[in-house]
């Protein structure tokens, strides 16, 4: 009998980290092997061996068996000592650029939730301004990275050593668009519009003027026009040039959830049936995508699930189509998809621990 897989989580303190902890602690394949939690720990807390998870996430107390678990100071020695097989990184991209290469050297598989290794094209990476971009070392690591969208790259994920887990907005646009573009149906001369709206957890845990209740509640604002970091993922994963799509994110006054409204024009007249068929074939064998045939998805339906919900409507002419997609930005848009990638990688049921 093989030993239970040992995971580690760097960055459990954030919103995605909390969800990751929740999922891994309850994962049927990881019973008895809670993740090793590592991260930056204040000197005062180092003395007591790290910060108890019950202090970081009191909402996990009871039911998750976190008594005794701590976020310990990050060290390679600790990971080696604990025989960590897979390291999840819910850390800023700078951290992932630094740690992922070292983990690979040490034979630790990395599932990285940041934008550090998602982009193949240097032009698309420019918005991140990575210190090490252009170095051979970075290029070597990048070459091993697989974009962790199981619905697109299931085969490559299976043997991957480094998973670049997709961005939350990106997932909500790539999954509904890729099937239509790949089938050659979309008239790219017209330009696609992806108008996305996300809940506040997407803006991170740091208290800022933007995330202050008084600014976020009873409000809606657009931001990152023509320049959001997730744009590069759309281009590379859907197969578009930058003038073929406009993507605009908005900050919604809700805790979590993303809805993207996507406008496309077809090359030739389509019907509800013809498009439904394209989606059904593309997502056959993809348990985490739900296709809507009658009504449209709403944010509430997908929140606290790992599903990406997709619905659409075609106008009378059969030439224009609006696709609406919804997902939970912390699950299918982050930690849930990361666990889905783990499942694929390990050859487990793709939806295990996610329903």
Report the residue number, 276 or 322, with the smaller CB distance to its own copies.
Answer: 322
Report the residue number, 35 or 336, with the smaller CB distance to its own copies.
Answer: 336
**Footprint of its own copies on residues 40-99 (CB under 8 A)?**
58-59, 61-64
Q: How far is the CB of 163 from its own copies (least distance, A)?
A: 23
| Integer Cα distance of 288 and 306 in angstroms | 6
Q: Which residues, in sequence order, are CB contacts of 344 under 8 Å at separation 6+?
A: 150, 154, 157, 158, 350
Q: Which two tokens stand for residue 16?
A: 């995605």
If one asks whether residue 220 binds its own copies (CB under 8 A), the answer comes out as yes
Among 212, 267, 269, 277, binds its own copies (CB under 8 A): 212
Report the residue number, 135 or 313, with the smaller CB distance to its own copies.
Answer: 313
Q: E strands within 40-190?
A: 51-52, 70-73, 86-89, 109-112, 145-147, 162-164
Q: Do residues 199 and 304 touch, judged by C-beta distance below 8 A?
A: no
If one asks whether residue 305 binds its own copies (CB under 8 A), the answer comes out as yes
If one asks whether residue 216 binds its own copies (CB under 8 A), the answer comes out as yes
Considering only the stretches 3-11, 228-236, 271-279, 312-320, report the one whose residues sit in contact with its own copies under the rule CB under 8 A.
Answer: 312-320
| Residue 12: other Cβ atoms inside 10 A | 27
Report the residue number, 63 or 159, with the smaller CB distance to its own copies.
Answer: 63
168 is catalytic: yes
| Residue 109: other Cβ atoms inside 10 A | 20
Look at strands 221-222 and 245-251 and give their pairing.
antiparallel
| Residue 230: other Cβ atoms inside 10 A | 23
- Active-site residue list: 168
Residues in contact with its own copies by CB under 8 A are 15, 58-59, 61-64, 190-191, 193, 195, 197, 200-201, 205, 207-209, 211-223, 225-226, 243, 246, 248, 250, 252-255, 257, 259, 261, 263, 265, 287, 290, 295-296, 298-301, 303-305, 307, 313, 315-317, 319-320, 322, 324, 351, 354-355
């Amino acid at each position: 009998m093989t030993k239970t897989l040992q995971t580690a989580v760097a960055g459990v303190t954030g919103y995605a980290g909390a969800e990751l902890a929740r999922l891994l602690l309850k994962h049927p394949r990881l019973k008895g092997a809670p993740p090793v939690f590592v991260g930056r720990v204040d000197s005062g807390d180092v003395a007591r061996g790290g910060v108890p998870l019950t202090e970081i996430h009191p909402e996990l107390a009871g039911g998750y068996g976190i008594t005794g678990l701590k976020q310990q100071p990050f060290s390679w020695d600790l990971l080696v000592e604990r025989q960590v097989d897979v390291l999840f990184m819910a850390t800023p991209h700078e951290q992932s650029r630094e740690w992922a290469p070292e983990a690979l050297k040490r034979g630790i598989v990395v599932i990285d939730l940041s934008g550090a290794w998602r982009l193949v094209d240097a032009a698309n990476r420019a918005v991140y301004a990575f210190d090490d971009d252009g170095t051979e070392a970075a290029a070597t690591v990048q070459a091993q990275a697989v974009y962790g969208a199981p619905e697109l790259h299931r085969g490559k994920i299976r043997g991957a050593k480094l998973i670049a887990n997709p961005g939350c907005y990106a997932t909500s646009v790539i999954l509904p668009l890729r099937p239509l573009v790949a089938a050659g149906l979309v008239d790219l001369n017209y330009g696609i519009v992806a108008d996305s709206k996300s809940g506040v957890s997407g803006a991170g845990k740091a208290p800022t003027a933007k995330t202050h209740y008084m600014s976020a509640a009873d409000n809606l604002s657009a931001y990152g026009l023509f320049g959001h970091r997730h744009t590069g993922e759309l281009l590379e994963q859907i197969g578009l040039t930058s003038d073929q799509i406009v993507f605009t994110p908005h900050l919604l006054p809700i805790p979590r959830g993303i809805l993207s409204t996507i406008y496309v024009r077809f090359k030739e007249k389509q019907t509800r049936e013809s498009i439904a068929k394209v989606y059904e074939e593309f997502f056959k064998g993809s348990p985490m995508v739900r296709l809507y045939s009658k009504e449209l998805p709403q944010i509430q339906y997908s929140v606290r699930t790992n599903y990406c919900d997709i619905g659409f409507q075609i106008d009378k002419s059969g030439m224009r189509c609006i696709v609406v997609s919804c997902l939970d930005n912390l699950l299918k848009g982050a930690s849930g998809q990361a666990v889905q990638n783990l499942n694929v990688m390990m050859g487990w049921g793709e939806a295990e621990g996610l329903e």
